[in-house]
Structure 1
């Protein structure tokens, strides 16, 4: 009999013989097949509770792996994993603490401070990430110091005092608490916002594992800035946004891949000159300023591929405020090539900002960068 015949409407199913299992004979009239009208057989066909769609393989992972997963979740979701099942109840308390205050629901700063205090008190540590508003350094300095000294943050890897961009910029007179730098041996990411870094604090800092350093609305002297960068031998990314107290920055780093700077308008005590003296791994050099020019000199950056943003726009119509880029003896003032003696063959991506779209100016720039693969052009929009 063929399969098609067997599936036809006139085909009668044969009764299956009951299997002989461990010498137990089937009951009279039992065919060995499940009776769809039987409540018990219908229940037996359902998957166990909590296993819809397949077995729960995640819960079978080792505690250490589950802890790493939980430590990567936003704080609120990480805490909620305790109610999933008894298997997950202890995972959050044994996983490295990820306390990101920006993601916590809080009606105001008082409520947020209470949540932070309760969290660091309940968690035994160690810490992975601690992210707190920089305004707390001024309003709750003692509380921040107590949080940083808590065992819940021992061996911290990421520390961020983030600045709320909708607040009016105002540098703090006092430095962050000394407990901020007790994690010097373990930190991999450090962002300091809206504070003052005195020479007495910075000169002795050393971060052997630090990969990312961000300074936002920070007042620091030029010598201390150089000492801070030099004290990070593994630094991969450097961000300086609205810095005060220094006008020049010299880059000498064997590890830096990304340097990004942005000035704060209407401030004379800000970065005006960036000199890349020796950066064999530098790939991206980004200037995110809109109105104030930055004088950039590149002495040695053999792997530089991304450059921007060059602009001919200035906040005050002075030639000195135009951005200036120097590669060896090649000089680009604003967006106009003043001197072209050698081309820059490593740059593949270039971003520019123009007051008025000019094809001739774009072509002239392309002569300096013959290996360009991408060019991003932003034209200023005048609101009348």
Structure 2
């Protein structure tokens, strides 16, 4: 029986003035086992950055639909997208905002057309895209939601399980996964956004995709309260009593295994995380500081609820590091490996 070909993954190179292009090149230089990565970006930019950093990477431009060769260290296939303006490392250029969005569109189309089994995104810069006039842009996650025409997506970050094996007793022995009920909202808007309908959608997606993409037979999800001490019985806020607890009880009736709502300040300890497959935090900075403290640079961002595989790095554009060669490709390495595993479980091409 023939061995299945390694899955093709589209790697968008992100903000061209940031570290994204060099992270993609670093990964290509060292080689990636078990997948066939294709960069989505400007070949000239990639060639310039490789030369500046002394990276020996052969760029192979591919036409749409052209077969992607087997991966090997030092070779990087590219689906070309042209820059709109010249780039200097560390210096943002508003004219290139449309270039960044086009790389996403190319990767999304490749996934939906069966040319790629998933996409992995290097960091973009939200500010420069907003400054270019894309007023509704709030990030990769929401852009993918709209491009794929789905009602709800869920942002989840996960640490590399191997990291925890290196640190016995540290945050449990399994990968730490933290999903978000709300993503890029000002803090004063969060409480109003925590509704029964949103929590229903988010928790159903989280439960289903832990089974689909991560092979968890019956996910156990720990849910944070919104308020300190999970509301202290209503004395520190009533969202737990009036919204979160009734919603969790209704979902338990559907067969979901849910713990909570639990105080976020004690949930993230080994005792409470034992046996938990994912944590649902109510807002961005409730759950992600803990995860990034536990595994920054060894974690990946995953978008759940999409009809395709999408992972990303756990950091930003790091404009101060761009072009210096000091950027660390560790998170991109984890994101690529995770995307390949998800594609294999989900039947990606």
Asked if Structure 1 and Structure 2 have the same fold, meaning a TM-score greater than 0.5 normalized by the shorter chain, the answer is no
The TM-score with structure 1 as length reference comes to: 0.26
Comparing both chains, which one has the higher relative contact order based on Cα–Cα distances under 8 Å and sequence gaps of 6 or more?
2
Structure (1/2) with the larger helix percentage: 2
Q: Which one has the bigger strand percentage?
A: 1
